[in-house]
Structure 1
Amino acid sequence: MRRPTAPLLRCALILGLLLASVSCGGPEHSKVTIMVPWSGTEFRAFYAVVRDFERGHPGIDVEPQVTRALTQQLDAAVGADAEPDLAVLPSVGAITKYRTEGALRELEVDTRAYAEPFRTLGTHDGAVYAVPVKADLKSLIWYDARSTEPPSPGRPGRYRWCLGLESGPTSGWPGADWIADLVLADAGVDTYTDWASGDARWAEGPVRDAWTAWGHTVGAALKGATARNFRQAAGSKDARGCALSHGSLSAMPFSSARVRDGQYTYVPSSRDALQVSADFVGKFTGNEGADAFLTYLASTKAQRIWVNEPGFAVSADRRVTQYDNAVQGRIAGILRSPDFTLCFSAADAMDPDVSAAFYRAVLDYANGREPGPLLAALDRVQQQLGYPSPTSAPAPLCSTPEPR
């Protein structure tokens, strides 16, 4: 009996030709991975920007990798040579670390429209290594306008503070932001910059004074704060009777309607200098699709979409001036105003290991530990893990926006 080798072979050849023609004729897709820390409305706002990019770039698929432990996961990925194409870098210290290690790649992205200090902090020797895709103003005191009188900067009056310090792997950061605000307001820009850059001691002078002042300011709110989630505690007039919250709008649990109708509003926590922060994005691979997506993220079009989605994002792009939410727009206006000096978040400017120790000390202090030994330990951590040389230190942390 004759075996049907020839017909089967012809069928296989025809099928192979058909598949080859489909492959050659169809569009080539590339995938871009990006590691992000956002969830809830913050992630949905970001993903609206992703969808708009993919509509305009049908050959590129963006795959977000969401993690709350971004610093730890990115460290592990870089150490294992398994980096994502792009990643959010939540601190200037992280930018400095990965740039000096050679992990971050130089970017061909125009950031000249971005306000200071955001633009310069992502550069080194004139080269761009990270783009500030999302900005925040931390030095704000929030209150319910229906039941609370406007507090004065440094004088909250008779009202109690809402305070939560629990935030997963970065628990303690709300207290670190508050302490930094006090150093900035009470000791000034130069002292703040020296401390954030590792050139001032923790255990003496203005920094130690700020820890003591924070404890006196929040008082009874410290009790149980390490177990309270920061977002659930903020702005909640609960059985504890708290009425004031400290921090950026994106950290508050308010709905757009509650902010838009003036129910919750703010005053700056200082009349002169304010603390800001940003989420930067850097590139770790040679993926050309990642270049296209990052260029888009930095564009005015993408930034305008982002800020008008839920999540209360603010842009450092000075051309983004139209905000659907008026409160959000006024906060963005402060980032462009020459009336304030803007200083980047101290904890975010530090080496990531130093900022992690800072957060841990905040939790210990809230749990009743005396500040002296905690701050002496932070001095030792700073000495061992701080910036090893002037060439690796971050760019100037404070600047005053120029009038346009």
Structure 2
Amino acid sequence: MRRPPTSLVRCALVLGLLLTPVACGDPGRSQVTIMVPWSGKEFEAFHAVVEAFEADHPGIEIQPEVTRALNEQLDAAVAADAEPDLAVLPSVGAIAKYQQEQALRKLDVDTGDYVQPFRGLGTSGGDGGPREVYAVPVKADVKSLVWYDADATPDPPKSWADLRTRHDRWCLGLESGPTSGWPGADWIADLVLTTYGRDAYTAWASGEATWDEGPVDAAWTAWGQLMGSARKGAARTGFKAAVKKMPACSLAHGTLAAMDFDATRVKRRAYLYVPPPGSTLQVSADFVGKFTDNDSADEFLAYLAGAEAQRLWVKQPGFALSADSRVTAEDYADDVQGEVAAMLHTPANTLCFSAADAMDPDVSAAFYRAVLEYADGAAQGPLLEALDKVQGALGSARPSSAPPLCTR
């Protein structure tokens, strides 16, 4: 078993690796380091939760380590045997990767109040028993929404079928730092899911279906046709910068949290959404996993998973959603945010983790790069053939012990 590094070694690693400088804490208090990718409103919301925890636990100090390249930084820390106590894991694929590497610690945290598929992210307990928990979903998202400016759209689309016959200009930006390309990947995933169903979607995300023919190839074509001229320059346009052009452009696809809408306008319903057809939604979450044997980290994790922290988090800036069933629509800062959160808790809905999030991280990274190249004019066929080769080399099918991609 690894020995955790001394606080001095860890502090030196953090200061050397991370893009945002941090200071080493008070040695008189138990310190918990947590690597996070958040900035702006997302970090402001997290910091409010940290402050509330520290007020109730004066002997524990939380030290956020902020990085815009979390996957790369965490890989480097794990390889150097200098992991943070906790880290945000932005996908179920990342959870599976670090669990298989035996870098993640099993958690003694009750997630029974969380809705599926967020409840038990880990290996099967065997014989149909409960899953062991390796990560806590601290905030969730619904990706399958098309947004528009209600004040500037007198004739909004009534359904996704309307989108194919309209001539709206899409607010399309694909640049997003180390994960540039994800907005297009999410769109393609939604088109596979809503057009071809859960079985086709699961086969693709699990590495059991090809990219260059069938549903994936067709969904990629449909996305290109839907975006039209909006693809031009999208690879070098930030996602949030593109959305801020609304209403010069009309429609945007993605989570409420990613839109960076003005909170006052959201509250008065100036921004509204068109849900996908049917009752199946693409979802994601930011999870927190544990990498050391720091007991104080267990206390912070238990707090993050509790209803008190979840209710506090969703009231902060950033439009976070909670997968905790104890957090109701009335706990949210505004009605639109509460309505979207309610989609996670509607029994008739089936929730499917984002396909790229469920893939091997190297496969999803190649997926994102292909989206950028396609937006810049690269031919679809060779790109998808190359993704098939990457999938074959790096992305084995998901093990039977992995949690299901889609659950009601």
What's the TM-score, normalizing by structure 1? 0.90
Aligned twin of 2:253: 246
Q: CA deviation at 1:236?
A: 2.2
Q: CA deviation at 1:342?
A: 1.1
Please state if 1:212 is matched with 2:221.
yes
1:162–1:390 distance in 2 versus 1, CA, 3 Å: same
Indicate if the aligned counterparts of 1:162 and 1:221 stay in contact, CA closer than 8 A.
yes
Counterpart residue identity of residue 366, structure 2: A
Aligned twin of 1:296: 303
Aligned length: 372
Q: CA deviation at 1:374?
A: 0.7
1:131–1:395 distance in 2 versus 1, CA, 3 Å: same
Aligned twin of 1:307: 314
Counterpart residue identity of residue 335, structure 2: A
SS of aligned partner of 1:236: coil
Please state if 1:396 is matched with 2:404.
yes
Indicate if the aligned counterparts of 2:243 and 2:259 stay in contact, CA closer than 8 A.
yes
Counterpart residue identity of residue 144, structure 1: D
The higher radius of gyration belongs to 1
Indicate if the aligned counterparts of 1:93 and 1:394 stay in contact, CA closer than 8 A.
no
Cα shift readout 1:223-281 (whole Å, capped 9, x = no counterpart): 0001100011115236xx41100000000020110100111111112333110000010
Q: 1:101, 1:289 → 2: CA distance?
A: 23
Q: Aligned runs of 1:208-357 on 2, under 5 Å?
A: 208-237=217-246, 241-321=248-328, 322-357=331-366
Aligned twin of 1:44: 44
Counterpart residue identity of residue 143, structure 1: Y
Q: CA deviation at 1:160?
A: 1.4
Counterpart residue identity of residue 105, structure 1: R
Q: CA deviation at 1:66?
A: 0.6
Stretches of structure 2 that go unaligned for 5 or more consecutive residues are 1-25, 126-130
Q: 1:327, 1:212 → 2: CA distance?
A: 32
Q: CA deviation at 1:340?
A: 2.1
Indicate if the aligned counterparts of 2:172 and 2:231 stay in contact, CA closer than 8 A.
yes
Please state if 1:146 is matched with 2:151.
yes
SS of aligned partner of 1:128: coil
Indicate if the aligned counterparts of 2:121 and 2:134 stay in contact, CA closer than 8 A.
no
SS of aligned partner of 2:324: coil
Stretches of structure 1 that go unaligned for 5 or more consecutive residues are 1-25
Aligned twin of 1:58: 58
Q: 2:403, 2:244 → 1: CA distance?
A: 34
Indicate if the aligned counterparts of 1:165 and 1:230 stay in contact, CA closer than 8 A.
yes
Q: CA deviation at 1:287?
A: 0.3
Indicate if the aligned counterparts of 1:77 and 1:83 stay in contact, CA closer than 8 A.
yes
Q: CA deviation at 1:399?
A: 1.2
Please state if 1:168 is matched with 2:189.
no
Give identity over the alignment, percent: 64
Cα shift readout 1:339-363 (whole Å, capped 9, x = no counterpart): 3211110000001000000000000
Counterpart residue identity of residue 315, structure 1: S
Indicate if the aligned counterparts of 2:207 and 2:391 stay in contact, CA closer than 8 A.
yes
1:174–1:180 distance in 2 versus 1, CA, 3 Å: same
Q: 1:253, 1:108 → 2: CA distance?
A: 35
Q: 2:177, 2:242 → 1: CA distance?
A: 15
Q: Aligned runs of 1:99-118 on 2, under 5 Å?
A: 99-118=99-118
Counterpart residue identity of residue 397, structure 1: L
Indicate if the aligned counterparts of 1:85 and 1:285 stay in contact, CA closer than 8 A.
yes
1:388–1:327 distance in 2 versus 1, CA, 3 Å: closer
Counterpart residue identity of residue 176, structure 2: S
Q: Aligned runs of 1:370-385 on 2, under 5 Å?
A: 370-385=379-394
Q: CA deviation at 1:27?
A: 10
1:303–1:123 distance in 2 versus 1, CA, 3 Å: farther
Indicate if the aligned counterparts of 2:206 and 2:397 stay in contact, CA closer than 8 A.
no
SS of aligned partner of 1:292: helix
Indicate if the aligned counterparts of 2:260 and 2:318 stay in contact, CA closer than 8 A.
no
Aligned twin of 2:205: 196
Q: RMSD in angstroms over aligned alpha carbons? A: 1.5
